[in-house]
Amino acid sequence: MRNTLTTLALLMAGTANAAPLSVATDIPPVHSLVSMVMGDRGEAVLLMDQGADAHDFQLRPSQARSVANADSVIWMGPELTLWLDDALESLRGDGATMALLDIEGTVHRGYAEDHEGHLHEEDAHHDDDDDHAHEEEAHDAHDDHADEAHGDHDGHDHSGDDPHAWLDPENANIWVSAIAAHLTALDPEGSEIYAQNAMRASIDLENLIAKTRETLAQSHDTPIVVFHEAYGHFAGRFDVHIAGSIAFGDAAAPGAAHLSELRHQVEEEGAKCIFAEPQHNAAMAEQIAEELGLSVGMLDPMGSELALGADLYPALISQMATAIATCQEG
C-alpha cells in the first residue's frame, strides 16, 4: 500500500512537471557542456547558427523565440556574445539565465598579457607613431571615445578580459558543476542525474587535460600565429607560445599597420605555423604564410565543423592540440 502510494505520488509529480527542461545556449562549446550535464533529461538548444561568427550575430525570429521560451539561457556573458545581452533583457525579463564568465573560480585572462606593441592605423592617437612607450597612454585615451576612434573594428577591446575562456578545460571543469547546480534549481527532481552527469563530465575533462598535455608535449618552444586573438586561455593552460594574431579579439579585420607589425613579430620570434579558422576567409593567412614561409593549419575554437552535442567539447580541444602539434612537426 505504502509503495503504491509513493509510486502514485511520484507519477503525479512527474506529470505536473511533464515538459522536459529546455536550455538555450549561445555557442557550440557551451551547448556541449550543458548537454554533458543534462544528458537525456532535457534539451539544449543552440541559439546562434553553428559556423557563424559568435562575435557578431543577429537572432532570427525563431531563435529569439527560443530565448523567450527556454527554461534558462546559459551563455558565456556579454564580453563574448554581446548580441545576446539585449535580447535577454527584452525577451526574458526575470527568467533564469547563467553567464559562465561570472561563475566563481573561473580563470580570467587579459588580452594584454600575450600582446604588446600592436598599432591601430585607424586610431589617430598613435597613427605613424613608432614609439611603443606611448601605447598605454594612447589606449587610455581611445577608451574615452571608442566609438569615434575605432572605425570598422569598433567596440573591440584588447585591454580587457579575454572571453574565450572555454578554451581552458579547467574552466569547463568548474562550469559543469555550476551547470548541475543551476539545472537542479530549475528541476529539483533531476538533481541526482545532473550531479552524476557532472561528476562523469569532470572525470572526462581531467582525462582530456592530461591527453592534451601529452599531445602538446613537444609544442612549447615553437611559436605559432593564430587568426584572431582567441587562444590566450588555451596557450596559457598548455604552455603554447603565440607570436601574434592576424585579427583582434573580436575577429574584426586588421589594418595594414597591424599586419606589418605582425610580420615583424613572426620574423623576430621564428614562428613556423599560421592558423586560419573555418568561419573566416583563409586568404590572409595564406598570403602571410607564403610571404614568410610558414605552414598553414586550421584551428576551430567554436567547434563550428563538429557535430553538436556532449562530444563536441572534448573533440574541439583535442583537435586544436593535434592541429598545433602536427603543424609544428611539419
Site residues for Zn ion per CB under 5 A: 230
Please compute Rg for the chain using Cα positions: 22
Separation of alpha carbons 11 and 17, rounded Å = 10
Nearest distance from C-beta of residue 53 to Zn ion, angstroms: 8
Our CB check for Zn ion shows the closer of 119 and 201 to be 119
- Residue 172 vs 230, nearer CB to Zn ion: 230
Q: What is the DSSP string of 125-186?
A: GGTT---GGGHHHHHHHHHHTHHHHTGGGTT--SSSB---GGGSHHHHHHHHHHHHHHHHHH
For residue 302, the minimal CB distance to Zn ion (Å) is 8
Which residue is closest to Zn ion by CB? 230
CB nearer Zn ion, residue 42 or residue 254: 254
Rounded to whole angstroms, how far apart are CA atoms 179 and 100? 9
Question: What's the min distance (Å) between Cβ of 307 and Zn ion?
Answer: 21
Q: How many angstroms from the chain centroid is the CA of residue 234? A: 10
- Cell digits of residue 259: 599586419
Shortest distance in whole angstroms from residue 306 CB to Zn ion: 17
Closer residue to Zn ion (CB): 56 or 214: 56
> Shortest distance, CB of residue 2 to Zn ion, whole angstroms?
57
Task: Provide, rounded to whole angstroms, the least separation between the CB of residue 156 and Zn ion.
Answer: 6
By DSSP bridging, strand 42-46 and strand 21-25 are parallel
Comparison of 91 and 302: residue with beta carbon closer to Zn ion: 302
Contact between residue 279 and residue 53 where contact means Cβ atoms under 8 Å apart = yes
Question: Which CB, 230 or 285, lies closer to Zn ion?
Answer: 230
- Least spacing, CB of residue 268 vs Zn ion, in Å: 22
CB < 8 Å & 24+ apart, contacts of 212-217: 212/169, 212/238, 212/317, 212/318, 212/321, 213/238, 215/318, 215/321, 215/322, 215/325, 216/240, 216/321, 216/324, 216/325
3 state DSSP class of 245: strand
Half-sphere exposure of 316 (CA within 13 A, CB side): 31
**Closer of 149 and 195 to Zn ion (Cβ):** 149
Residue 120 vs 272, nearer CB to Zn ion: 120
* Nearest to 58, CA basis, from 49, 46, 45: 49
| Residue 137 CB, nearest approach to Zn ion (Å) | 13
Contacts of 49 (CB under 8 A, 6+ apart): 57
